[in-house]
Structure 1
Amino acid sequence: MRLVQLTVPTGKQETILEALDDREIDYVLTDENSNREYAGVVYFPLPAPAVEPVLDELQDAGVNEDAYTVVVDAETVVSRRFEALRDEYENGDVDSDRISRQELQAEAQSLTPTFAVYAIMTIISAVVATAGLFLDSPAVVVGSMVIAPLIGPALGLCVGSVIDDEELFRESLLYQILGVLLAISAAAIFAWLVRITNIVPPGLEIGSVDEISERLAPDLLSLAIALGAGVAGIISIATGTSVALVGVMIAAALIPPAAAAGIAIAWGQPSAAIGSTVLVLVNVLSVNLAGLLTLWYTGYRPENLFSIGQTEQRVRRRVIGLAGIVLIFALFLGAITYTSFVAASFEENAREEVEMILSEEEFAEYQLLEFEVVMDDDYPFVGPERVVVTIGGPAGESPPELADQIHEHINRHSDETVAVEIRYFETVER
């Protein structure tokens, strides 16, 4: 529910009150004694979905932007006419639950802080995320998402595009570009300081840290996260619900991969930074694409009816452009996903080959103790580099034909030769 406070321009009082009476809206009128060009102030409650159409009608009646309008939340309204108005506008779908265009614009602007605050919070978030990745701590990484101020620019770009506020669109676009650059740069500088001061063990292989490695070789599931964050973010802001948790979800799609890219750069592995950088970019674009489509679907349009056609063409061009770029990045992520699938299939087939060999009668006294596939560091398209097979058996060296068979059978499942390391342990039964 909303309480609208509207200044009534001189000469428009009768027209405005007639419009409210025609819609059977309760109102209170007070006189204006400030000797300005206003005859009074009218107060009236509205269901949230009714704010936009009523204000548009009043604007058509002569209430322009020079007469200020204040829309605030109302906790309770006791009125039979208000209940009838609510039944008229609230029918249970998303379109009826959304807030007005005017509120949406104000909300999008309020979610974006000043650039100084935005830059500082983004840098802090990136540094905390980098520390969390080094510590291999999901809790710290999640904490970095909470303080990231990324939801404002992401949603502001979508809102600016749909309601034809190009100033909001350009500001949000600039914030997003600078935010990504700041996050990656801050993470790279912090990771470099960590490396040269030996805060982490010297010679640390970043691929051995799970929280880092999973973002150096992302897959297509990351795209689903970004699209979901964009849709959820727009729905939350459009329906006036809390956006705090959605902001964490959007930050989850951007901050950790940006920190992983910075770490790879600091470790002198630019190729390893490719996958995480692509992940950052595809997430940013996917959030904006999902937001644009969701806003347009929920029925938001520009205030000026004559600009609807031009705005629709502009939104269509941006959607097509974003979709095209996201598709290209999706193909890249798809290639990484396929490479991961091939590596996983190789590991499964290689293990089955070893188990099958050891199940033969001539090697019945030997048993598989451990099986490990060591991946190379050719990020983002990692593949098997060597296989370590640990076998237990009776005293004495393992028969050479066993090692030869294992090597031959494992390499049947790889296009390139994979080194096979056989470790033999004597097993003693007591």
Structure 2
Amino acid sequence: MLHLRLIVPADRTDEVVGLLEHTVGTAHLVVLAGAARSPAGDVVLCDVARESGDELIGALRALGIDRSGSITVEVMDLTLSARADEAEREAPGESADAVLWEELSEVTHEESTFSVTYVAFLSVATMLAACGVMLDNAVLIVGAMAVGPEFGPLAGISTALVQRAPRLVGRSLWALVGGFAVAMVVTAGFAWLMDVFGLFDAGMVTAERPNTGFIWHPDWMSFVVALLAGIAGTLSLTSAKSGALIGVAISVTTVPAAANAAVAFSYQDLQQTWGSTAQLLANLGGIVVAGTLTLLLQKALWAARRRADPAVKPGPSRID
């Protein structure tokens, strides 16, 4: 279940309450007249099944409540109520299959920002991966994969493509490309510094690396794994099962490929540089393709379910 807290202008309360009462899957409607001070208005509380959440939020935005008041949505971990159970039974479909596009847009917006924290995480992950490739240590590679925050911008690109939001595409691309560019430059400098201290040397780049040599040898399996990881990652976001993202992160060779490319370039090993770059591009491209197709399929399936159930009243859903 989702919990909605609305601030509604007093002259729009009856209209909003009517919408909530006629939406399938709602329960626990509460109106607190004049309770809001900034902005001034009535506070309306309501619980709604996740399956009906996207249509309801879209309808509220169509009424302009997000501009004249506010719409706050919270995920409820536990609700003990016979009326809530009845509301979930009335709502069409399964909650795990429902996509809250507004929530997805907000999450990808936050994760797709070119910020100091984002660049710091990506740079640290890439330097950690550089240590892994130079030491041929698979444990360090897995750790670097888990630290890397690059799935956020990748999900942002897929979401923006499906929702036709060019500004989000540009922001996500900037975070992705700019972030990797900075991280790779920082890692190249890190490799030089480690060489000065005698911790890295050219022989470590050219040595046989049975545990990490695959990083600069891309093949079709690299793309296939990226596709599968992109599907799993997108499903974890749309179903609010964020725990699966850790598995996604350690399935794809993005951060290690960027690290190997930076280290190899610092030692003028162009063969490994190009091979690692190809590996990086294959993984990034596979995740974006899979994420976009997964969202398109989810959108089409949910639209078909709404058309098949006459009790469901479609509401507009948009991403600004």
TM-score normalised by length of structure 1? 0.64
Higher relative contact order at CA 8 Å, sep ≥6: structure 1 or structure 2? 2
3-state SS of the aligned residue for 2:5?
strand
Is the 8 Å Cα contact of residues 212 and 260 (structure 1) preserved in structure 2? no
Is the 8 Å Cα contact of residues 32 and 43 (structure 2) preserved in structure 1? yes
Q: CA deviation at 1:167?
A: 2.6
Is the 8 Å Cα contact of residues 135 and 204 (structure 2) preserved in structure 1? no
Paired residues for 1:315-330 under 5 Å: none
Pair 1:77–1:185, CA change in 2 (3 A)? same
Return the alpha-carbon distance in structure 2 between the equivalents of residues 165 and 138 of structure 1.
39
Aligned to 2:175: 175
Pair 1:304–1:158, CA change in 2 (3 A)? farther
In the alignment, structure 1 residue 87 sits paired with structure 2 residue 89: yes
Aligned to 2:76: 74
Q: CA deviation at 1:207?
A: 4.3
The residue type equivalent to 1:295 in the other structure is L
Is the 8 Å Cα contact of residues 8 and 63 (structure 1) preserved in structure 2? yes
In the alignment, structure 1 residue 44 sits paired with structure 2 residue 75: no
The residue type equivalent to 1:52 in the other structure is D
Q: CA deviation at 1:227?
A: 1.1
Aligned to 2:250: 249
Aligned to 1:266: 266
Aligned to 2:308: none
Return the alpha-carbon distance in structure 1 between the equivalents of residues 278 and 168 of structure 2.
26
List gaps (5 residues or longer) in structure 2: 303-313
Return the alpha-carbon distance in structure 2 between the equivalents of residues 304 and 292 of structure 1.
22
Identical-pair percentage: 22
Aligned to 1:144: 144
Aligned to 1:186: 186
Task: After superposing the two structures, state which structure 1 stretch, 6-15 or 128-137, moved more.
Answer: 6-15
Aligned to 2:154: 154
Is the 8 Å Cα contact of residues 223 and 282 (structure 2) preserved in structure 1? yes
Once the two structures are superposed, what CA deviation does each residue of 1:228-253 show, in whole Å capped at 9, x if it has no partner?
22111111111111154145236x42
Q: CA deviation at 1:202?
A: 6.2
Paired residues for 1:289-368 under 5 Å: 289-299=289-299
Is the 8 Å Cα contact of residues 207 and 213 (structure 1) preserved in structure 2? no
Return the alpha-carbon distance in structure 2 between the equivalents of residues 124 and 239 of structure 1.
29
Pair 1:10–1:209, CA change in 2 (3 A)? same
Paired residues for 1:385-404 under 5 Å: none
The residue type equivalent to 1:50 in the other structure is S
List gaps (5 residues or longer) in structure 1: 309-430
3-state SS of the aligned residue for 2:74?
strand
Is the 8 Å Cα contact of residues 12 and 62 (structure 1) preserved in structure 2? no
TM-score normalised by length of structure 2? 0.84
The residue type equivalent to 1:194 in the other structure is M
Rg bigger for which structure? 1
Is the 8 Å Cα contact of residues 128 and 141 (structure 2) preserved in structure 1? yes
The residue type equivalent to 2:31 in the other structure is L
Q: CA deviation at 1:35?
A: 6.0
Is the 8 Å Cα contact of residues 90 and 97 (structure 1) preserved in structure 2? no
Paired residues for 1:108-123 under 5 Å: 108-112=108-112, 115-123=115-123
Return the alpha-carbon distance in structure 2 between the equivalents of residues 53 and 106 of structure 1.
17
Aligned to 1:135: 135
The residue type equivalent to 1:163 in the other structure is Q
Paired residues for 1:415-426 under 5 Å: none
The residue type equivalent to 2:45 in the other structure is Y
Return the alpha-carbon distance in structure 2 between the equivalents of residues 305 and 54 of structure 1.
9
Q: CA deviation at 1:49?
A: 1.9
Pair 1:203–1:102, CA change in 2 (3 A)? closer
3-state SS of the aligned residue for 2:68?
coil
Aligned to 1:53: 55
Q: CA RMSD in A?
A: 2.9
Return the alpha-carbon distance in structure 1 between the equivalents of residues 275 and 315 of structure 2.
43
Once the two structures are superposed, what CA deviation does each residue of 1:139-193 show, in whole Å capped at 9, x if it has no partner?
1111112221112111112222323433322111101111222233233332333
